[in-house]
Amino acid sequence: MPITVGQDTAKTRRTLKVGDKSYAYYSIAAAEAAGLGDFSKLPAALKVVLENMLRFEDGKTVSVDDIKAFADWAKMGGQNPREIAYRPARVLMQDFTGVPAVVDLAAMRDGIKALGGDPQRINPLNPVDLVIDHSVMIDEFGNPRAFQMNVDREYERNMERYTFLKWGQTAFDNFRVVPPGTGICHQVNLEYLSRTVWSDKDQTGAVVAYPDTLVGTDSHTTMVNGAAVLGWGVGGIEAEAAMLGQPISMLIPEVVGFELTGAMREGTTGTDLVLKVVEMLRKKGVVNKFVEFYGEGLDRLPLADRATIANMAPEYGATCGFFPIDAETIRYLRNTGRPDEVVALVEAYAKENGFWRGADYAPVYTDTLSLDMGTIVPAISGPKRPQDYTPLDRAAAGFFKTVAEFRGSDATLPAADMASEGPAPTPAADPRKTAKVEGEDYTIRDGSVVIASITSCTNTSNPYVMIGAGLVARKARALGLTRKPWVKTSLAPGSQVVSAYLEAANLQEDLDAVGFNLVGYGCTTCIGNSGPLQPEISKAINDNDLIATAVLSGNRNFEGRISPDVRANYLASPPLVVAYAIAGDLNIDLANEPIAQTPDGKDVYLKDIWPTTQEVAELVEQTVTRQAFQTKYADVFKGDDKWQGVKVPQQETYDWPATSTYIQNPPYFQGMGAEPGTISNIEGARVLAILGDMITTDHISPAGSFKDTTPAGRYLTERQVPQREFNSYGARRGNHQVMMRGTFANIRIRNEMLDGVEGGYTLGPDGQQTSIYDAAMAYQEAGVPLVIFAGEQYGAGSSRDWAAKGTALLGVKAVIAESFERIHRSNLVGMGVIPFEFTGGDNRKSLGIKGDETVSIHGLDTIQPLQEVTATITYGDGSVKEITIKCRIDTAVEIEYIEHGGVLHYVLRNLAKAPVAAE
């Protein structure tokens, strides 16, 4: 299908000749020559958005004034929050978020039929790639059979979902599926799908070159920003709207410049760098902002390290973390097997259209900060937030402090162990607990590492840290070391290329020897699919209330995410993951103490098994080859025999199986009228939950396993699904009945309406403690709307739309918080839930909110973007207080979304009304 460009763009269209090919492109220099403004000082990230405006200018959706606003942005010092309509070139999905997206598209086909429209109008207009990567669990580990056994079990659990996705591939245009066992979507995108500069025919038949852009239904879509591809995560509902031709409504963002100088020191890794970057940017505050990296340090920063930094943009809160095109970008594209003509086009286009980062690159930024990479030290982050940065030599002391806080103790380590923290006060009793593991000859304690996982595209996309992990394993093996017996070890690369170079370097054998056998190609531990621990270890942890730990090379370590048995989770580089598996304990100071002993009793320190930078670089040069990428991606859409054997019906609408517990027709479009409604004031709402700061989308809609005693577990049990087949919340996202019951059901969430209770509980209409789901259903039956109160950074974390869908289906009409993270705010609006922010220093605590209040919000019937309105709080004792809150419906089109009941309702009604000629 050809791309569609604007109708009023001829004045900025030029021709670029590369080799023997000619490309049309939309020239920023031509826009300047046409008197539209001076764009020379725009950051490269914003030039990508500007080019989008030039290409789609039509005088309606995109106007000349929209283009001129970018010149004003530079004049105003990096600020001009004008609303614009942005159209990404493509969409990326994974299966946890992709299944509900395809469910929505299938339901929209039913919905448009009911409105008298043509189901074929529900078809992606932009290319969509869905990579199945979130479903494999680590049931088997530490042996040569682990990979095949986990894949077999994956198909057993998920055949119903995979059949549905394969149906989607046949039913929808422009929709491709990368089968299970191939890799993680972001790594596949970085290594294969992305091109940095795209080219396609437009509606006139001319070949147009333009920047590669995308949105993805996973927050870590930002990883590809490392290759100068502008992409970020959105909820599935927003991605579906983009697929169907709806532009993304956004404000021209502020762009924070992050200067990198110096060079990494011996013994440090790209992971250590990104953990420091996360800490700095989270402290700076970059929510809703672009971050662009610049400075002479980029000349010594491999693209693999850049991708690691870009990947964790959600962790530092930014919309994206962008690296401009430069010589390293070109080197990476060539080495990863991109066609020569693509590589040549990227370089020529970037230099011709002002996207190239050369020695004279000096754009205007809204704000800046700087980091000398020579100051980076080995580090980890934990125990429950990515920004909890801890230098390695402080990790053991930091963990002890975590234990003391958890146990309510004022104990401290001896002063000698507390380094810069000064003399210790009189020590209390050591709060750390120990427990014997039944049937084993060892004990575990607070701090025992029970999971050590090389996982996630964040780091497995980086050959330097993966080769480094292999060399740590090789040196450890040579000294007779292996993992501690209580550590569940796993290696889950983000692509098959990783296995190719580990095997070429003969390092996989060394990793196997210390327990890091291949368990699958997918997200595994990072998304919570760590699988069960040995039952005896799990029992020892839970019977004795131990604070067990996990160390993973992922991007998230939120509470309750990694394993229900693990309370403290730490992010670390792959080489450190191997070292912690050998040490087996967070209480050991890896920087200064022996991590293990050889069979003959000699102490081994981390420095004894740590590779040099040169050792790593030489092996990367020898084994990470262009041929490896070309070979492994040659049949990326083919899949194995199991995938090829999945049979699907050939039909344009989906025949929803009534008995399915995985795929159900959602209620969003059933009975929907042809016209939108109006926004109503909220009257007499009750409080469903009062939540604290940094409530993540994992808290709101967990992805991991659940028990048969939960509302979701009871639902499946009633349908004769045994607990062994529950799978996970993430795998059940195609069934709204499961997901409603799983909303706010994280095992670590704390509702402040209850005293010290963990889990998804609240007070029902009768004032008694009950599950949030049961309370919500009781209020719905009584026709009572609901609100939620929360603290700062509400909705941090991922793009999962079920955090908003579940909220809406529970009957929540408004969320009132101190601040919102970008994606979740957008998702709430996209589901018809209105986000509000406190003003004037008010918050849930200063207002004395207990949960027995009723809340009314007026002024919504005439609401404007970012308007302040009045909320009336009637307390349980009858007293009344009026406060002013800010409505976070940010743009005019978002008001329309709320009027329609959500963005998909808006799109569906417009498609149903559109004349055939408009297609």
Integer-rounded Cα Rg, in Å, for the chain is 27
418: confidence class by pLDDT, cuts 50, 70, 90: very low
DSSP β-bridge partners for residue 16:
23
DSSP classification of residue 885 = E
Provide the angle, in degrees to the nearest 10, between the axes of the packed helices 303-311 and 327-335: 100
Q: Give me the CATH code for the 682-912 domain, please.
A: 3.20.19.10
Given this chain, do its domains 90-197+214-249+261-375 and 382-624 carry the same CATH topology? yes
From CA 860, how far away is CA 811, in angstroms rounded?
18
Over the stretch 63-90, which tens digit does the pLDDT of each residue have?
999 999 999 999 999 999 999 999 999 9
- The arrangement of strands across the sheet holding 197-201 comes to 13-18, 21-26, 207-211, 197-201
The pair of three-digit structure tokens given for residue 768, joined into one six-digit string: 């008694």
- Asked if the bond preceding 180 is cis, omega within 30° of 0, the reply is no
From CA 792, how far away is CA 850, in angstroms rounded?
18
| CA 53 vs CA 12, 40, 50, 77: distances in Å | 11, 16, 5, 20
Residue with tokens 């207009």: 125
70 close to 37: Cβ distance less than 8 angstroms: yes
Minimum mean pLDDT among 273-282, 455-464, 852-861, 877-886: which range? 455-464
Residue 132: predicted pLDDT: 94
Residue 14: predicted pLDDT: 96
Which residue from 844, 839, 899 is spatially nearest to 869, judged by alpha carbons?
839
Determine the average pLDDT of the residues in 355-377.
97
Which residue from 192, 230, 313, 320 is spatially nearest to 632, judged by alpha carbons?
192
Over the stretch 607-634, which tens digit does the pLDDT of each residue have?
999 999 999 999 999 999 999 999 999 9
589 close to 447: Cβ distance less than 8 angstroms: no
427: confidence class by pLDDT, cuts 50, 70, 90: low
DSSP assignments along 469-486, one per residue: HHHHHHHHHHTT----TT
Q: Give me the CATH code for the 90-197+214-249+261-375 domain, please.
A: 3.30.499.10
Return the higher-pLDDT residue of 728 and 229: 229
Taking 80 as the threshold, does the pLDDT of residue 914 lie above it?
no
Residue 423: predicted pLDDT: 47
DSSP classification of residue 753 = T
How many alpha carbons fall within 13 Å on the CB side of residue 478? Answer: 10
44 membership: H or E segment, kind and range: helix 44-56
From CA 72, how far away is CA 76, in angstroms rounded?
6
Residue with tokens 């349908």: 719
Taking 50 as the threshold, does the pLDDT of residue 186 lie above it?
yes
Percent of the chain's residues with pLDDT above 90: 83
Percent of the chain's residues with pLDDT above 70: 98
| CA 622 vs CA 378, 505, 617: distances in Å | 26, 8, 9
Return all residues near 6 (Cβ < 8 A) that are at least 6 apart. Answer: 55, 56, 57, 58, 62
Residue ranges covered by each domain of the chain? 90-197+214-249+261-375, 382-624, 682-912
From CA 359, how far away is CA 327, in angstroms rounded?
11
**How much of the chain is helix, strand and coil, in % rounded to 5?**
40, 20, 45
79 close to 253: Cβ distance less than 8 angstroms: no
Alpha helix positions (H), 518-605: 535-543, 574-583
Provide the angle, in degrees to the nearest 10, between the axes of the packed helices 463-478 and 270-284: 130
From CA 427, how far away is CA 437, in angstroms rounded?
29
Q: Which fold has domain 382-624?
A: Aconitase; domain 3 (3.30.499)
Global pTM value: 0.89
| CA 107 vs CA 166, 401, 481, 515: distances in Å | 16, 51, 55, 45
